Homo-oligomer: A and B are copies of this chain.
Amino acid sequence: MPPRHRDTDRVPSRLEGRATWLVSRAYARSSGLLNAGFGAAGGGLRGYHYRLLAALAEWGPASQAQLGRQTGIDRSDVTAALTELESRDLIERTADPDHGRRKIVTITAAGVDQLHRLDQVVDGVQDDFLAPLTPAERDRLVTLLTRLLDTPH
C-alpha cells in the first residue's frame, strides 16, 4: 500500500501524543469558540473583561493591582481593559481616600447584567467544547487539569 497522501487531519508523530501539543490545540479550539461567542453576544468584550467583571462581582471592589493579582492579568493590561469597561459604564473607578495613588474599582449594575450575559455565552461554549466527551470524561478532564495547575510550580 502506498503511503497516504492526505494533507489534512494528520499530525507529525513527534507532536501527536505530546501534552503541550494537545493543550495548544485544545486552547486554539476553546479560544476560537470563546471569541466567536463574545463577538456575537458580548458587545465587543473579550476574555480579559470577563475575568475582571467576574472577580469584581465575586469579591467586591478592589484596587487595580489587586485585580491583576486575582485574575492573573498584568497591571498594564488591567489598566487598558478597565478603561474599556469604564467607557461602557460597566465599572467605576474612584480614588481611594486612604491612599493617594490607589483607585478602587467597583462593578456597576449594568456590569453585573453584562456579566450574566457573558456567563450564558461561556456556558454554551463549555458544551460545544466538551461535546466529544461523556459527562464522566468531562469530569475526569477537569479534575486532571485542576490537579495539573494547582500544584505550585
Q: Which residues of A pack against B, CB within 8 Å?
A: 3, 7-8, 10, 12-15, 17-20, 22-27, 29-31, 33-34, 47, 51, 54-55, 57-59, 66, 69-72, 119, 122, 125-126, 129-133, 137-138, 140-142, 144-151, 153
Judge whether A148 and B141 touch: CB under 8 Å.
yes
Give the 7 A-B CB pairs with smallest separation, nearest first.
A132-B151, A27-B27, A7-B69, A12-B54, A22-B145, A20-B30, A8-B69
Copies of this protein chain in the complex: 2
Judge whether A12 and B131 touch: CB under 8 Å.
no
Judge whether A140 and B140 touch: CB under 8 Å.
yes
Residues of chain B lying within 8 A (CB to CB) of residue A70: 7-8, 10, 12
Residues of chain B lying within 8 A (CB to CB) of residue A12: 51, 54-55, 57-59, 70-71
Judge whether A19 and B144 touch: CB under 8 Å.
no
**Looking at the complex, which one of B10, B19, B58, B69 makes contact with A30 (CB distance below 8 Å)?**
B19
Judge whether B146 and A144 touch: CB under 8 Å.
no
Judge whether B25 and A130 touch: CB under 8 Å.
no
